[in-house]
Amino acid sequence: GASGSVWLARDETNGLAVALKIVPREGKAADRAEREAEAASRLRHERCLRAYGFGADSGHVYIAYEYVGGRTLREAMRAGELPDAQGVEAASQILDGLAHAHGRGIVHRDVKPTNVLLTEEEGVSVRLLDFGLAQFDDTETLTAVGDVPGTLAYISPERLRGRIAEPASDVWAVGILLWEALAGRHPFWGVPLPQMAAAIETGAPPLEPERPDLPNRLLAAVARALDPDPAKRPSAAALANELRHAWDERRPKSRTRPKRQRRSLKVVAEPLLREPERLVPVALAGATALAGGLMLPFYPTGWPLALAALAAGAALLSPRLALGIALLVPLLPLGNLALGAAAIGAAVAAGWLVLSWNDARFGLTFLAGALLWPFGLLALLPLLAQLTRGSIRRAAHVVAGVAVASLAAGLGRNALPFGSDALEPLRLEGVESPVAVAGVLFAAVPVPLALEALALAAVAVAIPYVRRPWPVATLGAGMLTALVLLAPAAPAVPLASAAWITCAWLAFGRGAFPRSK
Among the listed residues 11, 31, 84, 110, the single catalytic one is 110
* Whole-number Å distance between alpha carbons of 253 and 358: 25
* Whole-number Å distance between alpha carbons of 513 and 397: 16
* Whole-number Å distance between alpha carbons of 8 and 6: 7
* Whole-number Å distance between alpha carbons of 384 and 398: 9
* Whole-number Å distance between alpha carbons of 368 and 102: 51
* Whole-number Å distance between alpha carbons of 88 and 330: 37
- Measured in whole angstroms, the distance separating CA 346 from the mean position of its chain's CA atoms is 26
- Residues 141 and 78 sit within 8 Å (Cβ to Cβ): no
Buried b (16+ CB within 10 A) or exposed e, 150-162: bbebbbbbbbeee
- Residues 112 and 51 sit within 8 Å (Cβ to Cβ): no
* Whole-number Å distance between alpha carbons of 157 and 154: 10
Is 170 one of the annotated active-site residues of the chain? Answer: no
* Whole-number Å distance between alpha carbons of 193 and 161: 17
How many CB atoms within 10 Å of residue 16?
13
Question: Cα–Cα distances in Å, from 71 out to 115, 126, 357?
Answer: 10, 10, 19
How many CB atoms within 10 Å of residue 208?
14
- Residues 8 and 67 sit within 8 Å (Cβ to Cβ): yes
Amino acid identity at 272:
L
- Residues 468 and 496 sit within 8 Å (Cβ to Cβ): no
* Catalytic residue list: 110
